[in-house]
């Protein structure tokens, strides 16, 4: 059983809207049903009897065991065992799938996860368990589950962070863990906040520094009238004893900057006790404090955002004698409580014997080997910290208002937005001043375990309180997000939507095949249409709205980079250029991948779909939000049906964009005012325009803003590089376009046919990971539409041998009836240069820019070399100069009655 690859689909994906691992598993010689392996099912059921709860496809308790007995394949078994191991280790998950691939014996096994690294560990353990059962080998199931549980407690979020994360999710606030520790982002971009355990991004470093210094804390609290114990720092054991004598015993000895109760000893009365406590405290910190011991109970009050939200009475670690067992044995028995663990991920911590606890036992006349009488309480520690084995009793309802006020004052004077205030008092329901009670510490990043799962009392919603302090009511921490997918037109539509949104005064983050942009600033280059790029934008606190081109590859590799979008735009779904990869062999399968963005549209969102594309129309039932269709023709039957039901649509009539809802129609604007469409002649850009306008109207952009921005969005190399950019070079019309599949060519050729030019040349190639038939088909289209075809290869062979791409294209081109000349050239720049240098007035040249930056950059340099001061479009960034026959001049519109309309 070999794992070919294990993908972490961290966002919504083709399987579900939750994170999953997708393992590609080669079963090799065990690709047989379970009942082919003698004793296998019985052994697996004896190891994991709790899997009887797995209903499986049978639909009832014990369903999976029935499938085991009847015979099911190891890929399916791997799914169930991995899920069960996660649950046994304390991480509840339930979703799983196992599907055959087109390759015999290879399966895709999908399992949900909460923590990625832990799930990978469970997947590996599940494989070893299955192989052991098949080969009748021993397997230590208890030891493995214990190891997985320890791994989970180390890897997964702790109880404090997890409580805040759950509260955020319940509010619909997006959450993303940023590292292997507890640093978590909540919200997106301009709305994001961050936490680490019970600290927020508003928890100041100065406040934390003050809270760590017990002496400075006591000084500040005393200054605002908060009762604190008398005490001072000490330099050595003799000074500690001297301080105790000055203050008066009993005293407390503790590290000046310690935490979690480590090195703290209380109720000390003798020199020996104080000297030993000083050494224990010194092991935790170079600075030690001696304070007056205050009699009473140990209380923790949690202050969040200036309010007391929970309180607990902490009981120190202790055991109860039974007259039979030693203290060490009683501790071992107490540590068998499943709530106790080695990590802070468990409700309680294990009780440990250390120098402090040994001293506490000695004070009571005991050693670890002592057998205390029955019903005798033996203290193991004097402080009640949960981290040292203590327990907690909820007392939130008993806190006196004056006590709460002092706790809030203590947090405020330190400067903490979240604080754990430690109080020693006989009765928390009585004001501190009336019982000589004191506040002994104010803690940053307080643990929440005692409030979430107290040993006695009810759980308090402390996570919710923290989230409420970070996000006001009705604030879900989200920014407007539009996602765009499709076979062709994605990048142009993405850029158009971002351009319109900027007109609303928003700082817009955009990802596309050309890079990552924040407004007009390009912060990354290359193909950035995947989830990693989207997450970069959502981590940027300057971004106020986002538009994401969402390509097939990223969805299959890692899922979406966001959990939901306000608007999903699907431009079209065609055979494109990626069928035959990653088990996506049909257009229907490709449509399911692209549908992922529609799946995550919320009820108050919208899906913008191409009414001319049946695969887009089939997505309608999967959108929880409204549907807005677009098409060139308003008589499209899908639009007619949709409008009859009161739905929204955009279409073209008499070269005007019409916005319709039900029977109501409105002329939105003329296509003559949209330079991208070249007066409506470039039909695929008309469709992109309709999609962009529909999307931004759904995002509540005012119509007058949309119109104004549409009028300023031209098909130049700055706004939409290599998306039907039209130039004049050497008197020839040069069109630069990224279209690199048969569908794009089929849409592009009719537009080019509107040009009057008689001599037509094309420079063309594509990446090597396309199917043979796709390359041949594109060659056929080129051979029918162009007189001269210049084929080239560059560095993107992607597994092909040198010359193979050209050979496949040529086999198709040669079938064309129009083509008269075929050239083969190595290198994109060289191919473009051959075409441009042979250009003459009256020629039309299509340059297919398979690598946009490289091709556009070369054309810029070429133009500069032939015309020192040319008149160029905005993308060229050139000064104005008188046009000449050899200069490159922009063409802003297509004129079918003249050679080229000059600006």
Q: First-to-last CA distance in the chain? A: 66
pLDDT (mean) for 88-106: 94
Task: Specify the pTM.
Answer: 0.86
pLDDT (mean) for 541-564: 96
Helix pair 683-698, 742-752: axis angle to 10 deg: 110
Looking up tokens 């790029």 gives 533
Q: Is the peptide bond between 489 and the residue preceding it cis, with omega within 30 degrees of 0?
A: no
The pair of three-digit structure tokens given for residue 154, joined into one six-digit string: 């180390």
Cα angle value 356/359/362 (rounded, 5°): 155
Residues 721/496, Cβ–Cβ less than 8 Å: no
Residues 727/891, Cβ–Cβ less than 8 Å: yes
What is the pLDDT at residue 878? 30
The yes-or-no verdict on residue 389 having pLDDT over 90 is no
Measured in degrees and rounded to the nearest 5, phi and psi for residue 26 equal -95, 115
User: How does pLDDT run across 683-702, given as a tens digit for each residue?
Assistant: 999 999 999 999 999 999 99
Residues 574/687, Cβ–Cβ less than 8 Å: no
User: How does pLDDT run across 429-473, given as a tens digit for each residue?
Assistant: 999 999 999 999 999 999 999 999 998 999 999 999 999 999 999
Helices and strands counted in the chain (H then E): 29, 39
Helix pair 772-785, 742-752: axis angle to 10 deg: 10
Rounded-to-integer distance, Cα 251 and Cα 245, Å: 9
User: How does pLDDT run across 761-780, given as a tens digit for each residue?
Assistant: 999 998 887 888 888 999 99
pLDDT (mean) for 184-199: 97
Residue 692 vs residues 22, 469, 497, 566, 603: alpha-carbon distances, Å: 34, 37, 5, 14, 20
pLDDT (mean) for 747-763: 90
Give the CA-trace dihedral at 673, 679, 683, 688, to 10 degrees: -20
- pLDDT band at 883; cut points 50, 70, 90: very low
What is the pLDDT at residue 342? 76
Residues in the chain: 903
SS3 state at 144: helix
SS3 state at 745: helix
Distance of CA 725 to the CA centre of its chain: 35
Other C-beta atoms closer than 10 Å to the C-beta of 68 total 24
Phi-psi region of 856 (alpha: psi -120 to 50; beta: other; left: phi over 0): alpha
pLDDT (mean) for 196-218: 94
Residues 810/783, Cβ–Cβ less than 8 Å: no
Rounded-to-integer distance, Cα 30 and Cα 195, Å: 47
What is the pLDDT at residue 388? 83
pLDDT (mean) for 513-535: 94
Per the prediction, the chain carries an average pLDDT of 91
What is the pLDDT at residue 889? 41
In terms of C-beta density within 10 A (0-12 exposed, 13-18 middle, 19 or more buried), how is residue 813 classed? buried
Rounded-to-integer distance, Cα 315 and Cα 312, Å: 10
User: How does pLDDT run across 583-623, given as a tens digit for each residue?
Assistant: 888 999 999 999 999 999 999 999 999 999 999 999 999 99
């Amino acid at each position: 059983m070999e794992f070919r690859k294990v993908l972490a689909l961290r966002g919504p994906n083709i399987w579900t809207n939750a994170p999953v691992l997708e393992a590609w598993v080669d079963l090799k010689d065990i690709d047989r049903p379970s009942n082919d392996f003698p004793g296998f099912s019985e052994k697996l059921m004896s190891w994991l009897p709790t899997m009887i709860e797995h209903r499986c496809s049978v639909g009832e308790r014990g369903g999976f065991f029935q499938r085991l007995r009847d015979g099911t394949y190891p890929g399916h078994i791997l799914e169930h065992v991995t899920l069960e191991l996660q649950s046994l280790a304390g991480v509840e998950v339930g979703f799983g799938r196992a599907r055959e691939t087109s390759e015999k014996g290879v399966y895709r096994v999908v399992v949900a996860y909460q923590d990625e690294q832990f799930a990978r560990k469970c997947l590996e353990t599940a494989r070893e368990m299955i192989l052991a059962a098949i080969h009748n080998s021993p397997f230590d199931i208890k030891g493995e589950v214990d190891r997985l549980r320890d791994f989970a407690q180390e890897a997964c979020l702790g109880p404090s962070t997890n409580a805040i994360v759950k509260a955020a999710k319940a509010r619909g606030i997006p959450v993303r863990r940023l590292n292997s520790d507890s640093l978590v982002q909540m919200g997106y971009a301009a709305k994001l906040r961050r936490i680490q355990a019970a600290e927020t991004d508003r928890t100041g470093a100065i406040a934390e520094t003050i809270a760590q210094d017990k002496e400075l804390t006591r000084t500040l609290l005393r200054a605002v009238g908060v009762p604190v114990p008398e005490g001072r720092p000490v330099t050595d054991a003799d000074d500690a004893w001297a301080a105790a004598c000055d203050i008066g015993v009993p005293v407390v000895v503790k590290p000046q900057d310690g935490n979690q109760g480590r090195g703290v000893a209380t109720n000390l009365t003798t020199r020996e006790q104080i000297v030993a406590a000083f050494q224990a405290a010194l092991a935790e910190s170079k600075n030690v404090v001696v304070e007056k011991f205050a009699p009473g109970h140990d209380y923790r009050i949690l202050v969040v955002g200036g309010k007391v939200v929970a309180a607990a009475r902490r009981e120190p670690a202790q055991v109860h004698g039974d007259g039979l067992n030693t203290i060490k044995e009683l501790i071992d028995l107490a540590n068998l409580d499943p709530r106790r663990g080695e990590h802070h991920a468990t409700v309680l911590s294990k009780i440990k014997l250390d120098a402090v606890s040994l001293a506490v036992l000695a004070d009571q006349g005991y050693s670890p080997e002592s057998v205390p009488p029955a019903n005798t309480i033996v203290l193991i520690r004097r402080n009640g910290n949960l981290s040292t084995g203590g327990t907690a009793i909820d007392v939130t309802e008993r806190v006196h208002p004056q006590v709460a006020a002092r706790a809030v004052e203590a947090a405020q004077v330190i400067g903490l937005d979240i604080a754990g205030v430690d109080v020693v008092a006989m009765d928390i329901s009585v004001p501190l001043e009336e019982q000589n009670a004191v506040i002994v510490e104010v803690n940053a990043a307080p643990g929440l375990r005692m409030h979430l799962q107290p040993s006695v009392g009810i759980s308090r919603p402390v996570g919710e309180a923290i989230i409420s302090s970070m996000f006001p009511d009705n604030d879900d921490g989200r920014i407007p997000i539009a996602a765009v997918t499709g076979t062709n037109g994605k990048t142009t539509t993405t850029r158009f939507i971002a351009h319109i949104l900027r007109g609303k005064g928003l700082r817009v983050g955009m990802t596309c095949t050309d890079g990552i942009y924040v407004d007009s600033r390009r912060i990354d280059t290359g193909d950035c249409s995947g989830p990693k790029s989207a997450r970069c934008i959502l981590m940027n606190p300057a971004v106020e709205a986002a538009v994401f081109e969402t390509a097939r590859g990223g969805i299959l590799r890692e899922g979406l980079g966001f959990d939901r979008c306000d608007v999903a735009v699907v431009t079209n779904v065609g055979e494109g250029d990626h069928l035959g990869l990653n088990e996506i062999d049909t257009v229907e399968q490709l449509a399911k991948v692209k549908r992922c963005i529609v799946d995550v549209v919320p009820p108050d969102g919208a899906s913008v779909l191409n009414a001319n594309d049946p695969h887009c129309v089939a997505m309608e039932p999967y959108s929880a939000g409204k549907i807005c269709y677009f098409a060139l023709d308003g008589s499209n039957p899908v639009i007619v049906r949709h409008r009859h039901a009161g739905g929204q649509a955009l279409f073209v009539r008499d070269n005007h964009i019409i916005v319709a809802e039900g029977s109501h129609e409105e002329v939105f604007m003329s296509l003559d005012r949209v330079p991208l469409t070249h007066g409506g002649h470039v039909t695929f850009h008309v469709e992109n325009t309709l999609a962009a306008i529909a999307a931004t109207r759904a995002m509540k952009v005012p119509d007058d803003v949309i119109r104004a921005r549409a009028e300023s969005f031209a098909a130049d190399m700055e706004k939409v590089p290599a998306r039907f950019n039209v130039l004049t070079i050497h008197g020839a019309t040069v069109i630069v376009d990224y279209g690199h599949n048969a569908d794009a060519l089929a849409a592009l050729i009719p537009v080019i046919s509107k040009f009057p030019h008689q001599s037509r040349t094309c420079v063309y190639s594509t990446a090597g990971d396309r199917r043979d038939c796709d390359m041949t088909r594109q060659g056929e289209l080129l051979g029918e539409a162009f007189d001269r075809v210049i084929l080239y290869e560059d560095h993107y062979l992607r597994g092909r041998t040198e010359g193979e791409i050209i050979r496949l294209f040529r086999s198709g081109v040669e079938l064309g009836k129009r083509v008269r000349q075929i050239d083969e050239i190595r290198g994109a720049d060289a191919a473009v240069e051959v075409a441009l240098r042979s250009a003459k007035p009256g020629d039309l040249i299509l340059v297919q820019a398979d690598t946009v930056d490289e091709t556009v950059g070369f054309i810029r340099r070429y133009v500069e070399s032939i015309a020192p001061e040319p008149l160029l479009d905005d993308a060229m960034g050139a000064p104005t100069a008188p046009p000449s026959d050899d200069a490159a001049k922009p063409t802003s519109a297509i004129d079918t009655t003249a050679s080229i309309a000059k600006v």
